[in-house]
Amino acid sequence: MQTAEIRRRWLDFFAERGHTVVPSASLVSDDPTLMFTVAGMVPFVPYLTGLVPSPFPRATSVQKCIRTLDIEEVGKTTRHGTFFQMNGNFSFGDYFKETAIQYAWELLTTPEADGGLGFEKKDLWVTVYENDDEAVTLWKKIADLPDERIQRLGMDSNYWSTGQSGPAGPCSEIFFDRGPAYGKEGGPAADDDRYIEIWNLVFMQYLRGEGSGKDFQILGELPQKNIDTGMGLERVAFIKQGVENLYEIDQVRPVLDKAAELSGRRYGAVHEDDVRMRVVADHVRSALMLMSDGVTPSNEGRGYILRRLLRRTVRAMRLLGVESATFPALFPESRDAMKSAYPEVEADYDRIARLAYAEEETFLRTLASGTNILDVAVTTTKKSGAQQLAGDTAFLLHDTFGFPIDLTLEMAEEAGLSVDRAAFDTLMLEQRTMAKADAKAKKTLLADLSVYSAFRAVGETVFTGYEFLETDSRVLGLIVDGVAVNRAAAGDIAEVILAETSLYPESGGQEADAGSIVGNGFDLEVLDVQRPVKGLVSHKVQVRSGEVGVGDAATSVVDAEWRRGATQAHSATHLIHAALRETLGADAHQAGSYNRAGYMRLDFNWNQALSPATRSEIEEIANAAIRNNLDVETRVMPLDEARALGAMALFGEKYGETVRVVDIGGPWSRELCAGTHVARSSEIGLINLVSETSVGSSNRRIESLVGIDAFRDLATERAIVGQLTSTLKTPREHLPDRIGELIQSLKAAEKKIAQFEAAALSQRVPAIIDASTRVGELTVVNENVGTVATSDDLRSLVQSVRARLGSDAAVVSLAADVGGKPAVIVATNDAARARGAKAGALAKIAAAVLGGGGGGKDDLAQGGGSDVGAIPAALEAISNALPR
């Protein structure tokens, strides 16, 4: 049974039983505590916890998920994959334990010919929470399972909670017995390789108190009991398809086979090769799905995870013996395997391919650079007589250059060296500990979202700002320091929840409105406007005067000038995007934006800098759209209808079933957008494109000033040009040539000055030599020569003095003030070095006195620091360190 067929049967089964079919949410999670959607229930958490009222009593979905915590285990086991799909059915205060068990057993054991999944009852085992007698009774009643096939397990495996105060409850899991060839008898409690978990049913029925681990109290039963169940689609697929693991199912195996073909190695022949092929198959699919949801490779956040997946793929192919680019062969295989379930991967493949192929090319160059660094480290290690490459070197290669540790180990071994893996692992542990601490801190900061639950239960905040800049409403709630309060007084910083608001909450790249909230006896300055939970707007305010209380009448007032500037900037962003696509083609997709009054920036997928001519063309097209006074139309319609009209969606953004479409000039610029916009394009005024820069290997960023800010910037430039024409007595059109001539003249003058300074320094050589002294058998020159222009000048002077001293043993140490910083250069000749005088060691001694660092070769070395006043002491330290 194909994976897509299992998916279809699941959705049909629950749809027929009154469940709303909810499309998969993006892999980019709405939950601010999560980087990705890591479980099928994540999109439903606000409904399950009661934070947001559920729009349906029961639902079902097949949710895309990404988990990378166990990335090192990928390919080694039957059940570790970074991308997976979770089939779920959910009840929000509707049916509970008995019906959930009934549905699960019915779908699993109904014959394939009758629309079920066709599992044999004899192959299924069940686990329940150790104290859940009700579940045991129901399993016996519904499934007629004998006692020995129902195993009671503890809280660690069969109890669910968020880890904080809130909903909790027992779980029941269904396992498939793969047979004696895969392990010992005894059920899931005895062997989790033989018995594969395929379905988990969470019975959310209790309210738990504070505490950690098992140390918490059950405060009572929930007034609304919920069901959250999940069936692993890939696990069921590999069982139904009769293959050994999830890497061999129809949606994954084609990439594995292509990796085998490219490498010339046979899958199933060598375990290490098999693991690498599985890693390739898993990671290519995961990367494909992440990029289809708008994630792009970068050095932080989600982009870093994607980059890591792509680079681990390159690493695995290299270990399979393939050092050339392979993504153009691998990614089309994954696209074709996944497109029946997710058509977007085919529709967006040109963009995905451009990102993936560029990332592979970049990393192949990185590997070449890392190899050079590793080669130097290996040579240095061997020269020192050591047999082990330092752990910090391996960590530097991994952390800074993205050089995989496995590759470092392999190449070091080829050179006859081991790697200090313990030191490397210690550094990695420190890094992970810091990352976990940071993640925990972020989670803690957002752990009190339940404070909004009561306000959200009243209903959604009505946004009136599209039509009105002022709206009368009432205060539904006040929050100070994360706690709901009844009143806030002058000077307090608080969050205000209103029933209606005209103030735009930050979203879609548009900064929140500036403004105020006023009422009888109070005046609140609005500092920020956000949506902490779906459907609820919170205003962060400072009470300027008076006292505000829950229930008070209040009026939200938008700063009209701010809003005007914000609408100009947001509409300008749409024009620039349309101009980009007209100039560069449909592949120039927007990858993020930010706009506020007077300014906009737009990131887009492109892997090379724009020429000055292209930048000018984009700017001209956008400003022509302003001059043409195009109509700006906004419409609200179903998402499918908007897509059918060709409305552009920002990758990574979340859209509901009903969306707002903004047209500027009809289909020329047609985008899904909830932001505020001008009524006609001429109201934007002016767009002044001020920069175009790189923000990654495959992303560029355009920044523009808009409206009056654009005019002021151009006026400033005009004033500067006017001043230059007056000062240089040159017409504006001839300024570039005139300035070029002046630059050439300046360079020629600087060259002559440098020559004069060098000649003046060389004339000091005899006097410096005359000041030499004898230390033991050495002729020593130890002088502060004052101020010199550059360290190169000082080095030339030192070398000239050493040459004039001849072949007698000599040490030359000259110090100077170079640009306000002390520098010392030490030179020795052959005879001096034979007597133990080493320039590098002497320069380090002087640098330590100067408050800096230094070193070099035995014949010539340099040191520096921060304290010019310490030069005499540094020279004395050199003298004291000379061999006698």
Q: Are 574 and 669 in contact (CB under 8 A)?
A: yes
Residue type, position 728, single letter: L
Helix (H, G, I), strand (E, B) or coil at 480: strand
Helix (H, G, I), strand (E, B) or coil at 558: strand
152: pLDDT strictly greater than 90 = yes
pLDDT-derived band at 216 (thresholds 50, 70, 90) equals confident
Q: Is 743 a member of any domain?
A: no
Instruction: Report pLDDT for 166.
Output: 80
**Are residues 498 and 429 both part of a single domain?**
no
Which of the listed residues 244, 267, 301 is the one where a domain comes to its end? 244
677: pLDDT strictly greater than 60 = yes
Q: Are 735 and 728 in contact (CB under 8 A)?
A: yes
Which parts are annotated binding residues for Zn(2+)? Answer: 570, 574, 673, 677
729: pLDDT strictly greater than 70 = yes
Name the least confident of 438-442, 457-461, 539-543, 748-752.
Answer: 438-442
* Structure tokens given for 401: 């250059």
Instruction: Report pLDDT for 76.
Output: 84
Largest CA distance in the chain: 109
665: pLDDT strictly greater than 90 = yes
Instruction: Report pLDDT for 196.
Output: 92
Name the least confident of 15-19, 74-78, 385-389.
Answer: 74-78
733: pLDDT strictly greater than 70 = yes
**Are residues 198 and 64 both part of a single domain?**
yes
Instruction: Report pLDDT for 691.
Output: 93
Residue type, position 687, single letter: I
CB burial class (10 A; 0-12, 13-18, 19+) of residue 81?
buried
**Are residues 480 and 549 both part of a single domain?**
yes
**Of residues 215 and 67, which shows the higher confidence score?**
67
Instruction: Report pLDDT for 737.
Output: 92
Residues 833/839/845/851 CA torsion (nearest 10 deg): 180
651: pLDDT strictly greater than 60 = no
CA gap 68, 36 in Å, rounded? 10
Instruction: Report pLDDT for 632.
Output: 95
Helix (H, G, I), strand (E, B) or coil at 493: strand
Alpha helix segments (H runs only) across 677-834: 708-728, 735-762, 765-770, 791-804, 830-834
Domain containing residue 13 = 3-244
Which parts are annotated binding residues? Answer: 570, 574, 673, 677
Instruction: Report pLDDT for 440.
Output: 43
**Are residues 66 and 81 both part of a single domain?**
yes
Residue 363: partners with Cβ closer than 8 Å, 6 or more residues away: 310, 311, 314, 402
Domain count, the chain: 5
437: pLDDT strictly greater than 80 = no
Mean pLDDT confidence for 243-257: 94
Backbone φ and ψ of 369, nearest 5°: -65, -45
**Are residues 338 and 435 both part of a single domain?**
yes
Name the least confident of 6-10, 55-59, 289-293, 302-306.
Answer: 302-306
**Are residues 495 and 417 both part of a single domain?**
no
Helix (H, G, I), strand (E, B) or coil at 371: helix
Instruction: Report pLDDT for 322.
Output: 93
Which of the listed residues 244, 263, 285 is the one where a domain comes to its end? 244
Mean pLDDT confidence for 369-393: 82
Instruction: Report pLDDT for 445.
Output: 35
Q: Is 758 a member of any domain?
A: no
CA gap 354, 349 in Å, rounded? 8
Instruction: Report pLDDT for 448.
Output: 56
**Are residues 529 and 385 both part of a single domain?**
no
CB burial class (10 A; 0-12, 13-18, 19+) of residue 747?
exposed
CB atoms within 10 A of CB 728: 14
In 374-521, at which residue ranges do the beta strands (DSSP E only) sit? 388-389, 418-419, 462-463, 470-480, 483-485, 487-489, 493-498, 500-501, 515-519
Instruction: Report pLDDT for 444.
Output: 36
pTM of model > 0.85: no
Instruction: Report pLDDT for 400.
Output: 66
Q: Is 154 a member of any domain?
A: yes
Q: Is 744 a member of any domain?
A: no
Q: Is 730 a member of any domain?
A: no
78: pLDDT strictly greater than 70 = no
Mean pLDDT confidence for 716-742: 91
Q: Are 537 and 529 in contact (CB under 8 A)?
A: yes
Q: Is 157 a member of any domain?
A: yes
* Structure tokens given for 689: 């494109």
Residues 613/615/618/621 CA torsion (nearest 10 deg): -60
Name the least confident of 218-222, 271-275, 429-433, 500-504.
Answer: 429-433
**Are residues 189 and 104 both part of a single domain?**
yes
CA gap 845, 875 in Å, rounded? 9
Render pLDDT for 386-414 as a digit per residue (tens, 0 to 9). Answer: 888 888 888 877 776 667 677 788 778 87
CA gap 818, 795 in Å, rounded? 12
Q: How many residues does the chain have?
A: 884
Instruction: Report pLDDT for 443.
Output: 35
Over the chain, what is the mean pLDDT?
A: 89
Backbone φ and ψ of 600, nearest 5°: -145, 150
Dump the DSSP string for 613-671. Answer: HHHHHHHHHHHHHHHTT-BEEEEEEEHHHHHHTT-B--TT----SEEEEEEETGGGEEE
**Are residues 457 and 435 both part of a single domain?**
no
Q: Are 417 and 18 in contact (CB under 8 A)?
A: no
CB burial class (10 A; 0-12, 13-18, 19+) of residue 586?
exposed
Mean pLDDT confidence for 611-623: 95
Instruction: Report pLDDT for 454.
Output: 80
CA gap 697, 296 in Å, rounded? 10
854: pLDDT strictly greater than 90 = no
CB atoms within 10 A of CB 458: 13
Residue identified by tokens 């539904």 is 476
Instruction: Report pLDDT for 438.
Output: 46
Start-to-end CA distance of the chain, whole Å, equals 88
Which of the listed residues 558, 593, 608 is the one where a domain comes to its end? 558
Q: Is 759 a member of any domain?
A: no
**Are residues 211 and 113 both part of a single domain?**
yes
**Are residues 185 and 51 both part of a single domain?**
yes
Name the least confident of 139-143, 201-205, 694-698.
Answer: 694-698
Judged by phi (left if over 0) then psi (alpha if -120 to 50, else beta), residue 310 lies in alpha
pLDDT above 90 covers a percentage of the chain that reads 57
Instruction: Report pLDDT for 767.
Output: 86
Backbone φ and ψ of 319, nearest 5°: -70, -20
**Are residues 42 and 166 both part of a single domain?**
yes
Q: Is 462 a member of any domain?
A: yes
CATH number at residue 776: 3.10.310.40
pLDDT above 70 covers a percentage of the chain that reads 96
Mean pLDDT confidence for 338-344: 92
Crossing angle of the two packed helices 301-319 and 349-383, in degrees rounded to 10: 70
pLDDT-derived band at 653 (thresholds 50, 70, 90) equals low
612: pLDDT strictly greater than 60 = yes
Instruction: Report pLDDT for 652.
Output: 52
